[in-house]
Amino acid sequence: MKQENIRNFCIIAHIDHGKSTLADRILELTGAIDKRELKSQMLDSMDLERERGITIKLNAVQLSYKCNNDLYQLNLIDTPGHVDFSYEVSRSLAACEGAILVVDAAQGVEAQTLANLYLALDNNLTVIPVINKIDLPSAEPERVITELENIGFNKEDIVLTSAKTGQGVEELLKKIIEVIPSPKGDRKNKLKALIFDSIFDSYRGVITSIRVVDGEVHVGDIIKMMETNASYDVVGLSINNPKEQEVKVLHAGEVGYLYASIKSISDVHVGDTITLEKDPAEESLPGYKPMKPTVYCGLYPIESNKFEDLRESLEKLKLNDAALTFEPETSKALGFGFRCGFLGLHHMEIVEDRIEREFGIDLIATSPSVVYEVELTDKTKIMVDSPTKMPKRELISKTYEPYVKCSIFTPSEYIGPLMELCQDKRGTFLNIDYIDTERVTINYELPLSEIVYDFFDRLKSSTKGYASFDYEVIGYKESNLVKMDILLNGEIVDALSVIVHKDFAYKRGRVVVEKLKEIIPRQLFEVPIQAAIGMHVIARETVRALRKDVLAKCYGGDITRKKKLLEKQKKGKKKMKQIGSVKVQQEAFLSILSTKE
């Protein structure tokens, strides 16, 4: 294929605005897939994506399209819309020259529409604005056109489509050919190929998704990874159209898969540049900025002998989810596991789910926490991403926590409940923007830890799911934070410790203590359950002891005899309490850790 006839583009949008459905129509129109074989959201190939109806992973396909009697190669990348997977979007953008920005004709411009648009502009991409779902009765294309004009687009450039009926899709394809530039690289230059994604395959080893920027790569070439210095023989190259199809060569401008029997996972870094060993490029491509996790939690295998398996699965998963971070951690209550970092709560949920499904390891996750900053009395500052790393209270002089600026897009009838929720979560009101008479954006500053706790559930329930929510971390603010421990029979259960704002510690403590009381089975001795800050107990419940009726056989008889029996029982229990320890079932942990008020 002539390089001038190649178009690389991705589809970006806010969640659910119809990217994957639009990709279906493009697959259909270009004849890549027979109408009868087409499932909806064809490119959402993971089970998890299909069940949840959302895209989690970027997905690249190569299509051929005949336009003005010329054949074109279209490399399309479908991306996720949810904010937690924006790393997938930014990696896709770096492999493209153009982006299709899809906006729902009924919803209009939303938080991720703007965020993704700015990402595309930062990467110098040509952006084609598309208003989708014009078939909906509630569609208001005129209003959305004005919104798009307000963010800098021209009315003439906007394409109106319905990914459901196919209306406007042909026009969109013509526009893509017309306005998106062909790739710039040079086939004669030394090979430079960007690894923008990867996956582990048990037969072929690591398969990388590459965008060839300069030069060309053939099956049989010896390649070198510029960052990790590893070299390998190229065993195979292929494209996805959307069935995998082997090819012999990938040229500058093209997108495809490369595999080279790579078994050692650490040799492959997403963002690295592939070049030829015998004739290497001088400079590597800029690659990607690593993402900083915003939410952490501990992941432990339920079966403790699965620790090494868990390590391996995290490594393999990281190939396919470059935003995931992890390091080993131990807990007295849960054994060996990993402290993992995620881009958000949804990301966390998906990772847990993928480990259980794809690798068959059952997990326990500790409560999510954010990264706190602690200034010690000797003026040094440390970052604390886990309650177990919190220094003793005497050593701390100040504590800081991350704050976010959040914008909630909502129908105006929910302003009241939403403001109440934000106040409740220690929020500071910033302002309300009236988009039109029915929709507003409420802006608040909130501690990230409050969002991590149970914000989403409450947001959903107080707005019947109509509000959409976006946040960006704005930095650290001083805050009165304490570590709250949970003690069972006087012993700290490390997996249940949390860092909380002092004013909220009592409330959080009560919830956990009451919940624990419900699930801990009665023992032969009395078990106190306490929530404590340092030595100071702030909440307590007691699981009463099982009691054998020692007086059962003592008919009538003398009162002193009864007293003696009871006294003996009491002594026995006291002794038992000293030596007895409380075994907490794993299920009990699970139910506590998923505590939702």
Residues that bind ligand GTP (CB under 6 A): 13, 15-21, 41, 53-55, 80-81, 132-133, 135-136, 162-164
- Out of ligand GTP, Mg ion, none, which partner does residue 140 contact, by CB within 5 to 8 A per kind? none
Distance from C-alpha of 62 to C-alpha of 246, rounded to nearest angstrom: 12
User: Cβ contacts of residue 382 below 8 Å, gap of 6+?
Assistant: 373, 374, 376, 389, 391
Q: Which is nearer to ligand GTP, 80 or 185 (CB)?
A: 80
**CB-wise, 55 or 73, nearer to Mg ion?**
55
Whether 374 and 384 have beta carbons less than 8 Å apart is answered as: yes
Stretch that binds Mg ion, among 18-26, 248-256, 274-282, 466-474 (CB under 5 A): 18-26
Q: Which is nearer to ligand GTP, 160 or 268 (CB)?
A: 160
Q: Which is nearer to Mg ion, 55 or 407 (CB)?
A: 55
Examine residue 530 and tell whether it contacts Mg ion (CB under 5 A): no
Total binding residues for Mg ion by CB under 5 A?
3
- Residue among 257, 263, 229, 253 at smallest CA distance from 243: 257
Nearest to 96 by CA among 238, 217, 194, 236: 194
Interaction partner, residue 112 (ligand GTP, Mg ion, none; CB < 5-8 Å by kind): none
- Give the whole-angstrom CA distance, residue 577 versus residue 440: 59
Asked whether the beta carbons of 20 and 54 are under 8 A apart, the reply is no
Q: Which is nearer to Mg ion, 79 or 198 (CB)?
A: 79
Q: Using the rule CB under 5 A, is 112 a contact of Mg ion?
A: no
Which residue, 132 or 320, has its beta carbon nearer to ligand GTP? 132
The widest CA-to-CA distance across the chain, in whole angstroms, is: 111
Question: Residues of 360-398 as b/e, b for ≥16 C-beta within 10 angstroms?
Answer: ebebbbbbbbbbbbbeeeeeeeeebbbbbebeeeeebee
**SS3 breakdown of the chain: % helix, strand, coil, rounded to 5?**
30, 35, 35
- What's the rounded Cα separation, in Å, for the pair 250 and 594? 48
594: Cβ–Cβ under 8 A, 6 or more apart, which residues? none
> Within 138-157, which residues bind Mg ion (CB under 5 A)?
none
Shortest Å distance, C-beta 287 to ligand GTP: 25
Residue 8 contact among ligand GTP, Mg ion, none, beta carbon within 5 to 8 Å by kind = none
Residue placing its CB nearer to Mg ion in the complex, 25 or 458: 25
Closest approach, Cβ 24 to ligand GTP, in A, equals 8
* Shortest distance in whole angstroms from residue 20 CB to Mg ion: 3
55 sits near Mg ion (criterion: CB under 5 A): yes
For residue 50, the minimal CB distance to Mg ion (Å) is 11
CB of 324 to ligand GTP, least distance (A): 19
Cα–Cα distance for residue pair 67/88, rounded to 1 Å: 30
Residue 76 token pair: 């399309």
- Measured from the CB atom, the residue of 19 and 508 that comes closer to ligand GTP is 19
- Whose CA is closest to 459, among 406, 498, 505? 406
Interacting partner of 17 out of Mg ion, ligand GTP, none (Cβ under 5 to 8 A depending on kind): ligand GTP
Q: Closest CB to ligand GTP belongs to which residue?
A: 81
Fill in the amino acid letter for 583: K
Binding site partner of 135, from Mg ion, ligand GTP, none, Cβ cut-off 5-8 A by kind: ligand GTP
> Does 21 help bind Mg ion (rule: CB under 5 A)?
no
Pick from 8, 20, 238, 399: which binds Mg ion (CB under 5 A)? Answer: 20
Interface residues with Mg ion (CB under 5 A) are 19-20, 55
